[in-house]
Amino acid sequence: AQSVAQPEDQVNVAEGNPLTVKCTYSVSGNPYLFWYVQYPNRGLQFLLKYITGDNLVKGSYGFEAEFNKSQTSFHLKKPSALVSDSALYFCAVRDMGNTDKLIFGTGTRLQVFP
Amino acid sequence: DTGVSQDPRHKITKRGQNVTFRCDPISEHNRLYWYRQTLGQGPEFLTYFQNEAQLEKSRLLSDRFSAERPKGSFSTLEIQRTEQGDSAMYLCASSLVGNSYEQYFGPGTRLTVT
């Protein structure tokens, strides 16, 4: 069964510093991977995805993610964090059936301090 | 704004009452998903429609839950005889087949069962 794991419940970073939010996956076959962000009392906003192609994927708001097949990871990164990046981040993998449903990790809370 | 909308945003109900939520997807999207998110967890898949056909239901969806998508447009999710364990955020998402698997989420309906 497909799954993703987010090993950190919370990540703290100072504004202006680089940030990394970790995600590892377990799938049979080639993974389709996603990152979403959730602000308080809001739905999820799509950040970026990896389907195929370049291992470094660029997305919204200056975020990028690196797909690493050998380490089965898809870590989210940003070179310079902003206080406004503080939110809940979810990694997800597409189910390999016909529905395209997403299987989410438990989320990582990013706190950026001024 | 042509994003996914959900109504109501918040619902407080007493145990044993029935509730119904509505989701309006992005107009050209033919796939519609319902997810449930509890505190500290990622969203979990509940059910999925392609056009008006409900093609998959999670085991999380007990007999008290029913979903419809008449005419392949908006969708409703009804919970009968609500229980305190039904308290959660109910998220709706839509996507377009062949559009790189991205799902676009609504703001969610937060249900509190007292």
Beta bridge partners of B6: B23
Beta bridge partners of B90: B36, B109
CA dihedral B92, B97, B99, B103 (to 10 degrees): 10
Nearest of A56, A112, A50 to residue A82 by alpha carbon: A112
Residues 62-101 of A with CB under 8 A from B: 90, 92, 94-95, 97-101
Q: Is B85 helix (H, G, I), strand (E, B) or coil?
A: helix
For chain A, 114 residues long, the average pLDDT of each consecutive 10-residue run is 93 98 92 93 89 92 95 97 96 85 95 96
pLDDT at B71: 86
Q: How many whole angstroms separate alpha carbon B112 and alpha carbon A41?
A: 14
Q: Is A95 helix (H, G, I), strand (E, B) or coil?
A: coil
Q: What is the pLDDT of residues A45-77, one digit of tens each?
A: 999 999 988 999 999 999 999 999 999 999 999
Closest-CA distance, B37 to chain A, in angstroms, reads 10
Q: What is the pLDDT of residues B24-76, one digit of tens each?
A: 999 989 999 999 999 889 999 999 999 999 989 998 888 999 999 998 899 99
